[in-house]
Amino acid sequence: MMTEVDAARLVRGSVYLAGQSVVTTLIGAVALAFTARILTQVEMGVAVVLMLTLGLAQVVTDLGFSGGLTKFVAEFRGRGEDFTSMSFGAVGVKVLMAGAAAMFCVVMAPWLSELLLDSGEFVVLFQLLGLNVLTFCVRLTVHHLLLGVNRLKELAILTAVAALVGKVFAVGLLVLGYGLVGLVLGWTLGELAYVLIGGLIIVRNRYVKIQPFGKVIPHLRTLARFSWPLLATNVVLFLYGSFDQAFLLFYVPLDEVAVYSIALRAFGVISLIPLALSSTLFPYYSEQRGRDEQQNIVAGVRGSSRYIALCFTPLALGLMATANPAITFFAGQTYASGDVVLAILCIFGGLSSLAASFSILLLVYDMTPTVLAVNITSVIGSVILLPVLLPSLGVVGMALAKGVATIIAFVLTVLLLRRRMSLQFDGEALWKSWAAAVAMFGIVWLLEYMYMSPYLLPLYVGVGGLVYVVGLRLLKAVRKGDVSLIRNLLGKRAAPIMNLAERILI
């Protein structure tokens, strides 16, 4: 059974990362409001191409080492073994690969501009992107090492600081008239802030120590054996995460790509919550496997599924209900047509959100070829639908195909993991959270039907939240143990708030 200490630790880590998600979401929402209004839709489409290029560079230079770095560092810690040889080798290789990718981007900028944007006028952007490739790839290495040593509080602070630095500089340079050049420079400065502060934490705590070459090689071989299928998997995951935007670049104008991208980013705001939990669970599951505590992993899946259901379901259905006023309020009327895309992404995201509680186990159990197969299958299943959906429905059809991919991946992962372990979910929390969230959706939709205005978004959100809380109370969905866990986590100072929450919810 999972101990109360382990449960509190998981919740604490998730609270740190979820809190960071809230902060970065607010920062990103404000930045998006400025960016979407300063740049034209075509320029926003160019920004999508730059982000896709950056993502591909990250996947190629990573070599699959990031997931392995987190896993093995956490497992070594679980067994009480030294992990610094592993971390030194992984960091060294990844920095070299990042440098090579950055140089390629700078040298091949004219070719990239012509190939991806059919124009030679964006050469400077791709040259600047080379510097961003370097900082971004090194940042991810720092992130996964700190994740492996369970420095979740520091990770949360680092991410928030980097987001603030990056967005402030990006928006500031946009306001000063630097356009896309200012946007890329802002991205780079944000990543650089993360690398510098995170690197200082790593050096001060000696998480990486210079080691003899002969001592590092065996660890690199171990990491490579684990990571080579993960590299292929990450390529497929990149395709899985980006195939929609990549296909749209060939089928629709850049302005429609920009509309779809804005809707995708809006959904990404709430998807940070399950992502935060998944990031917390990865090192925890790896440690438990290192200690051969299978029962703790089973309990972790069941417990985390409960809190995903209670916390993420209302967010998904709430954003679905307020898709039009939300996207109009933050990005402007120009992007209001993306509301249907956003609503589709929300419903599929709500249905597949439980994957955050268990999908990472495929890596924990060294099932990297299985991850590859699952994501290839899900992408193929979606692409098969594109000839039917894309010509007639455009970006809406792409959103449907994207949603189908998430469901395919979810179902396959459940079926495959059940061959390896007892996969249990909190069924009571699932149906009660959905019942309360569906009622919330209905009330908010009715309110918007009576009077729709983006400026009333706070009202819609407030009413929806109140309906959901009442629904949880009527269905007796929240237990005393849930409140006690949060109370123990927050300490005595939060006792009055938690006492009030207990009276309201229980």
Q: Are 183 and 35 in contact (CB under 8 A)?
A: yes
Helix pair 179-204, 123-148: axis angle to 10 deg: 30
pLDDT tens track for 320-334: 999 999 888 877 787
Report the C-alpha gap between 423 and 285 in whole angstroms.
Answer: 14
Which tens digit of pLDDT belongs to each residue from 208-261?
A: 777 666 666 776 777 777 766 667 767 766 766 676 776 676 776 777 777 887
What is the pLDDT of the chain when averaged over all its residues? 80
- φ/ψ region of 31 (left if φ > 0, alpha if ψ in -120 to 50, else beta) reads alpha
The pTM is what?
Answer: 0.70
**Given the structure tokens 């000063």, which residue do they identify?**
176
What does the chain come to in residues? 506
At 250, list the tokens. 């060939």
Can you tell me whether residue 308 is helix, strand or coil? Answer: helix
Residue 83 DSSP class? -
CB distance 336 to 327 below 8 Å: yes
Mean pLDDT of the 407-416 span: 90
Domain locations in the chain as residue ranges: 4-475
- Taking the C-alpha atoms of residue 130 and residue 54, their distance in angstroms, rounded to an integer, is 9
Residue 6 has pLDDT above 60, yes or no: no
**Side chain identity, residue 304:** S
pLDDT at 438 (0 to 100): 95
Residue 231 tokens read as 């590299």
Which band of pLDDT confidence, cut at 50, 70 and 90, is reported for residue 433?
very high
Furthest C-alpha separation in the chain: 72
| Number of Cβ atoms within 10 Å of the Cβ of 413 | 24
Please check the confidence at residue 466 and state whether its pLDDT lies above 90.
yes
pLDDT in tens, 153-178: 777 788 888 888 988 999 899 889 88
Residue with tokens 């399950």: 274
Q: Is 230 helix (H, G, I), strand (E, B) or coil?
A: helix
| 57, pLDDT greater than 70 | yes
Residue identified by tokens 């290495």 is 141
Range list of β-strands (E), 56-191: none
How far apart (Å, rounded) are the C-alpha atoms in residues 289 and 68? 14
Choose among 460, 473, 501, 504: nearest CA to 318. Answer: 460
Query: How is residue 338 annotated by DSSP?
Result: G
Radius of gyration of the chain (CA): 23
Q: How many CB atoms lie within 10 A of CB 453?
A: 12
Cα–Cα distances (Å) from 310 to 28, 84, 303, 429, 430, in that order, read 25, 39, 11, 7, 7
Residue 292 sits at the vertex; the CA angle it makes with 289 and 296, to the nearest 5 degrees, is 70
What 3-state class would DSSP assign to 306?
Answer: helix
**For residue 87, what are the CA distances in angstroms to 61, 142, 155, 202, 206?**
16, 10, 17, 10, 10
CA–CA separation, 70 and 278 (whole Å): 13
Q: Which amino acid is at 97?
A: M
CA distance 322 to 266: 11
